[in-house]
Each structure stands twice: as structure tokens, then as C-alpha cells.
Amino acid sequence: MKSRPGGSKSLRETAEEEVAAQSRQHEIEGDVREYRRVFLIVMDSLGIGALPDAHTFGHLESGGDAGSHTLDHICQAAGPPTAPRLMSLGLGNVEGVECFPAAVIPEGAYGRMVEVSAGKDTTTGHWEMAGVPLDRAFPVFPDGFSDELLGAIAAEAGIYGWLGNEPASGTEIIERLGQESIDTGKPIVYTSADSVMQIAAHEKHFGRKRLRLLCRIARRHTKELGIARIISRPFVDAKAGAPETFKRTYNRRDFSLLPPKPTVLDALKKAGVPVVGVGKIGDIFAAQGLTRTVHTNGNANGMVRTHECVREQAAGLIFVNLVDFDMLYGHRRDPEGYKGCIEEFDEALGKLEIDRRDDDLFLITADHGNDPTNQQHTDHTREYVPILAFGTHVKGGHDLGTRATFADVGATVAHALNVPFGGAGTSFLKEISK
């Protein structure tokens, strides 16, 4: 039916539109509010306490990751962060959080989530969050990679060998082998407790584009092995007077495997709902299920780009990863720096909310832990993660308890945007809606 001249609508047209809108609304389980936008923000690595099976992860001879608690141990080592917005939303009210201040009456709904997948890495956490838990862990390479594999990659890429090929801290191995890499033209390859092959080379002497091409070649050669991510790690000379010789840049790229099943991102995209990935979300999902990718240079830039989405993105899911918590402070075992990073995020969150709309739902969570006080290793830690939900139509002070899986996030996102999704997880939208 066409509209009347001048754009005005008849009473019948208006009534039909209202009925259609009500019909769409009633499709949502429990007849709760439909949202136009969901902002899902991942504070990469902000764990809140060891999971019951944490002792089976990490250095097993030393008790594994048992006793890890990223947030509490930051508070104990460096003092509680000054983070009034996170406090008011209920982060300190979550079960198991002891050292972060609690709100008398939280403005948000709050809880914690269990990772059911057998892992503690970025890919596993984000995929489970998107409704696809993994039945088995990705393979890891504690002894490095085979000569046969590295030789095949080198032959296709036209390089003359490798340096490293060992589990290592990225900053340490680049500092140790960076000059030799420049002198010989050989890239540095290393891994960690995660399922990753990381390849580092100097941006100027080796070339950023050449490094990414090398990583794409490595991705093809490692597909059958099931390595979760090939990570391009460019570095540059550090500034004069800096304590280190080399510095990693924000021009990293992750070349991930595709998820084994459709994620909530795929369901949304198929339904015509925009899906925007901010930060390394596009890399984590190999761009699958996204309608737009926004690359960022750290947390501050990530929050600026997220704020732009708050002002400009009309509808859909805006999925944000903020990597500095993990990359700059968790792995480097810097609780003081991690504390400051939380404070910077909190301030940016407060500014961002000025432009939020009544039909927005905000979810804040994490993908794993990375306890900066853990001295056994410099890898991630197996922990619960927080879940905070807030918006105009969210019940403040509601305790979501302990969710059985990260996948409850994906189910809630689909529910809020009124899109059918058959993935894992249980929506908590009805629980938190006014």
C-alpha cells in the first residue's frame, strides 16, 4: 500500500504498522522490549576469579591457574581502581569480587559467567560468547613448530629461515632477537600457552605488508593442524631513551580459523541486522558474520570509535574488543598499568553514555582472565568473567548470578534484536527488563 502524497499516512496504514510492530514485539519470548541497538564491549582479559577447573590449566606442577583473580589481585597489588561508572553498574557486587567497591543500589544488572569450552584464549572466549562453545581445545605447541611446517611456509614465502620457534613472551623475544631479525631478514616465530603462531618482524626492514602476506601463507599451511590464530606482530625501533630497544605496534592482525558453526553474528547478518566489529573482532571471526569492521589503535581509540557508533550507527550489534588490558598489562604482568587502564576505560564509558538512546542495551564482559600478579607464566588465566547489563529499560540491582556459559550473551543479543538463533546459551533479557 502506498503512502498518501506528501508522506502522510492514512489511519489504516498507521494501524497496520502498529499491528505489525506489536506482532514483531510479541515474537520475543516473554513479551519484553525489543532493542534497536546492542553494544557488547569486551574488556579483554578482565577475569574475576579462578574457575573450578583452573588447576588443570597453566603450569600443572605448580597448581595451574588455581587462585587466579585478575581484578582482585590488581586491587591488592595497586589499590582499587577509581572507576565510579563500573562501580555504579555493579561490578563490585558480583559474586567472588572482594576488593572492588560495591554499589549500595547498582544501576545495572550484574553477574558472572563460566567458560564451558576447554580453553582460556581469545578465540575460544569470543566464539563461546557468540553462541559456539568448543567441545575440545585447540592444539598447542609447547615445543614449537616442526621444521617441515616452517620449511614449507618459508619456501612459499621466499624467506631464508626463522628465528626463535619457541614458547615466549612477545616483548622478551622481540627484544632478544629483534636486531638479528633485522640483520638476517629472518622473521621471529614463537607461540604461547594458547593455540597461536605469532610471527614478528620489523615494519621498516621487513615490511608490514610482507609480514601479513607471510601470515596468510602460514594460515593456509596450518589450517589442517587447527591452530586457532596466526598473529602478525610488527615492531619498530623504540624511542630514544626508552628502556627497550624495540616496540610492538598496533598494526597487528590476527588470521583466525572460521568458527565451526554459525554464530549469533551470522544469524543477525542473515536477518539483515547490521553487525559492526570494533577492534580485533573482525580478526577473531575472520570477518564472518560482520557487515562492517572498524580497526583501532588501542583502547582509547577503540572507545572513540565506539562513541562514533553510539552517535551514528542506526541499528544493530556493535561488538567491541578492547585489547590493551590484555596486551599491554596482563601479559606484561603490570598490575599498576592494568589499574590505570580500567580507570581510563571507566572515564571513556561515562562520556560515551551521554549519547546513548532509550532503545540501547549495553553489555560489558570479558573473554578470559590474565592475572598480572601470576608469576608462573605470562599467559592467560582460566577465570570467571563479569557480565554487566545496563540501559534505560534494564532493571538496576538485578543479580544475574553465575551464568552457566558465556553463550548466554549471544542468546541475549539475539533476543534483544528479535532475531531467531539456535546456538547455545539462555537469554537473560527477560530477567533484566523492566
Binding residues for Mn(2+): 44, 326, 331, 367-368, 380
Which DSSP helix (H) or strand (E) runs through 125? helix 122-129
Q: For residues 318 and 38, is the Cβ–Cβ distance under 8 A?
A: yes
Determine the Cα–Cα distance for residues 192 and 180; give it in Å rounded to an integer: 21
Q: For residues 72 and 52, is the Cβ–Cβ distance under 8 A?
A: no
AA identity, residue 307: H
Phi, psi of 399, rounded to the nearest 5 degrees: -90, 115
AA identity, residue 251: N
AA identity, residue 213: L
Q: Where are the alpha helices (DSSP H) in 158-249?
A: 170-184, 208-222
User: End-to-end CA distance of the chain, in Å?
Assistant: 36
Q: In what order do the strands lie in the sheet with 399-403?
A: 292-294, 275-278, 316-322, 37-43, 360-365, 385-390, 109-113, 399-403
Residue 206 CA to its chain's centroid (Å): 29
Q: Which residues are annotated as a binding site?
A: 44, 326, 331, 367-368, 380
Residue 136 CA to its chain's centroid (Å): 20
AA identity, residue 412: T
Number of residues that this document lists for the chain: 434
Residues facing 369 on adjacent strands: 381
Contacts of 382 (CB under 8 A, 6+ apart): 50, 51, 53, 54, 56, 57, 58, 64, 65, 68, 115, 120, 368, 369
Contacts of 167 (CB under 8 A, 6+ apart): 141, 142, 144, 190, 191, 192, 193
Which DSSP helix (H) or strand (E) runs through 35? none
Nearest Cα residue to 284 out of 2, 16, 42: 42
Determine the Cα–Cα distance for residues 41 and 278; give it in Å rounded to an integer: 9
Count Cβ atoms below 10 Å from residue 294 Cβ, excluding itself.
Answer: 19
Count Cβ atoms below 10 Å from residue 319 Cβ, excluding itself.
Answer: 29
Determine the Cα–Cα distance for residues 255 and 257; give it in Å rounded to an integer: 7
